[in-house]
Structure 1
Amino acid sequence: MNRLFMVRFITRASLGVAVLAPIEVRAQVVESVPPFAYTAPAAVSRAECFPVETLPADLRPLAEELLLKILDSEALYTVVGSLKPMSSGYVQTYLATDKPDTANIERTRQALSALRCGDWFRADLLMFRRVGADRKRYLEGVIVCVPAYRRMVDVYAPFWATWGVTPGSDPFAAVVFAENDDTPARNRALGYLYGYPKPAVDFFVAGMDEGKATKKVTP
């Protein structure tokens, strides 16, 4: 549990100081927006940061394993510093559509439910809508820094309004809307969720549009 204690200490040290700063700076660069109306979550006690010990004993090792995977991946930039409102891919699983068994999915979701720090973070599994040639539907772990997500939605409010998404919307509702959109808006939404600056998102979306039109891979 020593490593878990260190994670809690580092995370608490970052809350309220570094979490919103990068997003606020980026917001000033992208465009002028009204002051963000949402207040930061209240101070969080150490016991409420990644409370793995509150899980049933058989789920604790899985929760600790998932937390360490988060910190060993790009998701670190969501948990410490909130450079990325959302990160994903730290765990993958699948559902066989011809014989669906959700036991492992539910077990993983229960473990992820403890990967929170008050109201700062939310973690869950995102299921991709497309079924592969192997008749499997794949899922991956997603973690969201809620204050950073709200700031991002506030900055790009006209874009998110087409889905009815506001800063107070459930982050995973926004993720599902994006994942299930068949238009270029999907790529733009994911770019914003992953914390890329607007010029980079514009370039990426334009490249994807060009590739779709010309049937060629764009550089």
Structure 2
Amino acid sequence: MKKYNYTAFLLILLLALSCKSKQQTAAPVYQIGIGGSIIGYQEQPLIDSILQTALDYEALYTLLDDIKPMSSVKLYRFPLANPDSARQTNANIVDREKHGRHLDRLYAVQQAVNRIDFPDLKFVLVPYKSAQDSFRIVQLSVVRISSLDSLLQAKEAFFGQFGLVPGADPATVVSTIENAGRYERNRGYGYLFGYPDYAVDFFIEAAVESAKTKKILPRKFFQIPVYAREAGSFTYAYPEDHTPTAAIDSTIYYRSGKVLEKYKNIRNNYLNADSTVRAYQLLQDMYKQSPSITDK
């Protein structure tokens, strides 16, 4: 009888150790998003990668403030476009066997984007109207909804022609501007990206002049630093003979500087061992501390 009890005890002990081992190697629990969305452990690295890119570049000024109503986050390039004009009436352009891995990659990005859930922010994937041979460019952008609504109201003389008014879905707005005529597309993006009116006007005037003369008008560039680099990210052109003003350009520059400093001060608190950033958690914590996020 004692031998039987000892054997039973060993079986119970082995079973307990086995369960403990499984618990230790099990997948991490789901993380609940600000708005109630569920982030799975398999999606987390891609989501963090997207958000780290956004925070390290110009989208910082959309994510943590309302300086830019919209910011580009990343461009994806997929060989999915139809380069053959003779096949424009053909319904079968994309071949699953040939293009499946690209479609699957795009699907993974789309699903990750759909999971990102923060108040007043909307991430949108919009394909470029023009293709580059067989490549379709898909732009991932982030929009601050309240800023977009204010912009649509302030610039209704422009956006109204497309049927865009406050409350319009951000993806609809971006897609409409992407597919507008050349100059309207440029002006629409200029406003969405938060460039000053005079810079947007100059950009259009320079494009019209260039189309006529095939020459580029002389210009200078106003550079606003981001975490990843000092120049070339949040940038707009202005006439060569123009002097930037304190009321417009300096205001944007110093407001942006305060946001960048805030990000620099907290970024290292969210570093992984491989120097990647737990960007989703960073944004979560910031929204929990200050739901409005912008400290005016």
Instruction: Give ranges in structure 2 of 5+ residues lacking alignment.
Output: 1-31, 83-93, 219-296
1:42-61 correspondence to structure 2 within 5 Å = 48-49=33-34, 54-61=38-45
1:177-204 CA-partner distances (Å, limit 9, x unpaired): 1111124111110000001111111111
Match of 1:207? Answer: 206
Instruction: Name whichever of 91-100 and 171-180 sits farther off.
Output: 91-100
Q: 1:66-92: CA deviations, max 9, x gaps?
A: 111111110000001110000014352
Structure 1 residue 64, shift from structure 2 partner: 1.1
User: What is the number of equivalent residue pairs in this alignment?
Assistant: 171
Q: Secondary structure at the match of 2:115?
A: coil
- Aligned residues of 2:47 and 2:113 also touching (Cα < 8 A): yes
- Conserved in 1, the CA contact under 8 Å of 2:68 and 2:193? yes
The residue number in structure 2 matching 1:216 is 215
Output the CA distance in 2 between the equivalents of 1:132 and 1:181.
18
Q: Match of 1:180?
A: 179
Give 1:129's aligned residue.
129
TM-score (norm 1): 0.72
Structure 1 stretches of 4+ with a deviation exceeding 6 A read: none
- Bigger Rg over Cα: 2
Partner of 1:43: none
Which of residues 50, 62, 65 is equivalent to 2:49? 65
Please give the root-mean-square deviation of Cα atoms over the aligned residues, in Å. 2.1
Q: CA deviation at 1:114?
A: 2.6
Q: CA separation in 1, counterparts of 2:146 and 2:125?
A: 20
- Given that 1:93 and 1:105 are in contact with CA atoms closer than 8 Å, whether structure 2 keeps it comes out as no
2:98 is aligned with 1:113: no
CA distance in 2, matches of 1:140, 1:51: 26
* TM-score in terms of structure 2 length: 0.54
Instruction: Describe how 1:1-219 pairs up with structure 2 within 5 A.
Output: 48-49=33-34, 54-97=38-81, 99=94, 100-101=99-100, 102-118=103-119, 120-133=120-133, 135-219=134-218
Q: Give the partner amino acid of 1:76.
A: L
CA shift in 2, pair 1:75/1:50, >3 Å: farther
Q: CA deviation at 1:170?
A: 0.8
Alpha-carbon distance change, 50 to 105 in structure 1, aligned in 2, over 3 angstroms = farther
Identical pairs, percent: 28
Deviation at 1:172, TM superposition (A): 1.4
